[in-house]
Amino acid sequence: MKIDPMKLVKFIFLIPTVSNNIVQSSAFCTSKAHIPRTQLYSLESSWEHEKSVLSEPYLSELLMNDQALQSELLNQLQKLDNEQEALRRKNKKQSHIPNNDTLWTQIRMEAQHTLTKEPESGPQLYTHILSQQSLLHAVTSIVSHEISTQLIPATQLQNLFLEMLTAEDFKAISLDIMASALRSPSIIDGTALTAILFNQGLHALVCHRLSHRLWLQNRTGLAYYFQSTVSRIYSADIHPAAKIGAGIFLNAGSAGVVIGETAVIDDDVIILQGVTLGGTGKERGDRHPKVHRKAILQQSCSVLGNIVVGEGAIIAAKSICTKPVPPYTKVRGVPARFECEVSSSDDSEVFKEKGNEEWRKTSETMATGEEIKELLNKHFILAR
């Protein structure tokens, strides 16, 4: 039997075309029951999956793994505890900018320890950390000096931050600092001090919280000014009207991040470089994504339109997602399609203590460490 070569070539190229058409015609929201079950995506398989920053307070490994620093930390926390009890007995409410919270106590101690090891860092540490009244003063001092211009000098900028930011913003910024320290693989020492000094995504979030407050007070011109400045300096174009929760890890960088006007981002979300939360170009009004807590948006993915990204969902790198993503589901591709389910912290015991906990190796340091953890939990910022 003689086979026509041209017909054979046409038949070979026709097979993938038909297959692709069948796949593309299937809806993204196809029930998982109709999709072959793939291996469950384990929380251990990525650095992104750390314990929620909303679940427990920051605990500095740097301080805990040095016996002298650990003892000093315990003394500082006991002193703070006594001050808090005195305020409670007098029925006095603490200022919305507290100067004695546990995170700030640890950051100051990390700075003092760093100063003894690296005296050359003295000017930076003293100016931005050790001479500041509170954590909020420290963060705004750093950011103000980075975004200052001849039009608005650093001192004026810091005063504006302190005037506009609320107690809710202070809590959100504290949790953002924890997220940056615990989740950024580039912060090798895992300290909040390194995060607060050098993490550009954190600095962009602090600026956005100011521009959002300005937007809510109809000071739109100044809000747009900060949006433009942040976009130029940190490569993070965040519309002042966008609503962003607490404990966000934003990995801003040269690839840029874009978050649209009507986007809503819940607490404890991870946003990596190059992510776009935009519109489809076919809608007006409420036209941007709504990202629920614990979701992960990986490098250079685009989420377009007024769609919901469910709790704990993962959108893989370079995917383009235009349809809703169910909770605890991973999607991938262009367009994004269901890849596998994601295990949740509620039904999995995969979380482990981060780093090398030297302080657990002796009974003395372990007892001190447990006492420190008890005090930290007592004064955890979310309990206020």
Least confident span in 31-45, 55-69, 140-154, 229-243: 31-45
> Regarding predicted confidence, which is higher, 151 or 94?
151
pLDDT at 254: 72
When mean pLDDT is compared over 44-58, 95-109, 145-159, the highest value belongs to: 145-159
pLDDT above 50 for 20: no
Distance CA 47, CA 355 (A): 12
- The whole-angstrom separation of Cα 138 and Cα 292 is 30
Instruction: Give the least confident one: 130-134, 323-327, 378-382.
Output: 378-382
CATH level 2 (architecture), domain 30-345+362-383: Orthogonal Bundle (1.10)
pLDDT in tens, 289-312: 999 999 999 999 999 999 999 999
- The pairing of strands 337-341 and 329-332 is antiparallel
What proportion of the chain, given as a percentage, has pLDDT over 90?
A: 52
Q: Residue 284 — very low, low, confident or very high, per pLDDT cuts 50/70/90?
A: confident
pLDDT value at residue 9: 43
Range 24-45 average pLDDT: 42
pLDDT at residue 203, as a whole number: 95
Average pLDDT over residues 69-74: 90
* 205 or 367: which leads in pLDDT: 205
CB–CB of 63/69 below 8 Å? yes
What is the rounded CA–CA span in Å between residue 197 and residue 118? 15
pLDDT at 384: 44
Give the separation between CA 24 and CA 3, rounded to whole angstroms.
32
- Alpha-carbon span 212 to 216, nearest angstrom: 6
CB 260 within 8 A of CB 288: yes
- Check residue 48 and give its pLDDT: 57
pLDDT surpasses 80 at 35: no
Q: Above 50 in pLDDT, residue 39?
A: no
For the chain, give every domain's residue range: 30-345+362-383
User: What integer is the mean pLDDT of 360-377?
Assistant: 80
User: Predicted confidence band at 27 (pLDDT cuts at 50, 70, 90)?
Assistant: very low
How crowded is residue 134: how many other Cβ atoms within 10 Å of its Cβ? Answer: 17
3-class SS of residue 325: strand
What's the whole-number mean pLDDT along residues 80-94? 75
Cα torsion 175, 176, 177, 183 to 10°: value is: 100
pLDDT band for position 327 (cuts 50, 70, 90): very high
Residue 346 has pLDDT above 90, yes or no: no
Cα–Cα distance, 164 to 172 (Å, whole number): 14
Pairwise CA distance, residues 152 & 318, whole Å: 38
279-289 in b/e form (b: 16+ CB < 10 A) is beeeeeeebbb
Higher-confidence residue: 84 or 290?
A: 290
The Cα–Cα gap between 59 and 178 comes to 9
pLDDT at site 365 = 78
Q: What is the pLDDT of residues 182-198, one digit of tens each?
A: 888 777 777 899 999 99
**Which residues are CB-contacts of 8 (< 8 A; sequence separation ≥ 6)?**
none
As a whole number of angstroms, the distance between CA 25 and CA 179 comes to 40
Residue the block writes with tokens 């370079």: 318
Whether the pTM exceeds 0.75: the reply is: yes
The residue among 39, 27, 68 whose CA lies nearest residue 364 is 68
Residue 353 has pLDDT above 60, yes or no: no
Mean pLDDT of the chain: 81
